[in-house]
Amino acid sequence: MQDTVAVVTLRRPAKRNALSDGLIAALRDTFQNLPPEARAAVIAGEGDHFCAGLDLSELRERNAGEGMHHSRSWHVALDAVQQGPVPVVAALHGAVVGGGLELAAAAHIRVADESTFYALPEGTRGIFVGGGGSVRIPRLIGVARMTDMMLTGRVYNATDGERAGFAQYLVPAGQSLEKALELATRMAGNAPLTNYALMHALPRIAEQPADHGFFTEALMSSIAQSAPEAKERVRAFLEGKAAKVQKQ
């Protein structure tokens, strides 16, 4: 923990932080049991890479049922990241490949440094994404770009990846964790109910028909503004005690 920010670090540097079944289970357990004082979280990778994807040394022959259960176990783990109680920032560097990109896509904010590169080699290896990537990654970059990556093995560098939508922030090499902690600390200072609405209501509203979305928005807006902390923040702004928006 760093104050109110939980820092979760992948520590398999000799394997480029490849995701083993044990590491996936640890991610699930960690995000399902965050400390009660945590108001935001950061995911980072130790060593030269964020995560190079599925640990292929664990890939074994499975029948269809076993393969489905394995994929669903990843879904549970990465849903714990995306659908948990606090916003999550992924600090990216080096390889963000395959399952590593699926993990990054489950975070709410992604900060990449200039060493970052993105790939989905499953298509050229005769397999398919199984950790939720077919749902989450197109929401970041679109179906056409993901299809291209999997059909051709295309690799995006940090600059092109930021333009394509993989990351919201691009920083100099070695600075992604620092920036991620800065953003997570800022988010930890928000009203918890507003953060929850942004994490859980906004994605659903975006997928609803417009009339349903407007109604859901009205419900969420009324709930958020009724919270005592929201009332205090609005009162502080009206009394000139809160910072105003400034040009960056």
Query: Mind telling me the catalytic residues?
Result: 102, 122
Question: Closest Cα to residue 103, out of 76, 80, 131?
Answer: 131
One-character DSSP codes across 156-195? EEHHHHHHHTS-SEEE-TT-HHHHHHHHHHHHHTS-HHHH
Q: Of all helices (H) and strands (E), which one includes residue 65?
A: helix 64-82
Q: Of all helices (H) and strands (E), which one includes residue 237?
A: helix 228-238
Question: Closest Cα to residue 85, out of 180, 187, 168, 176?
Answer: 187
Residue length of the chain: 248
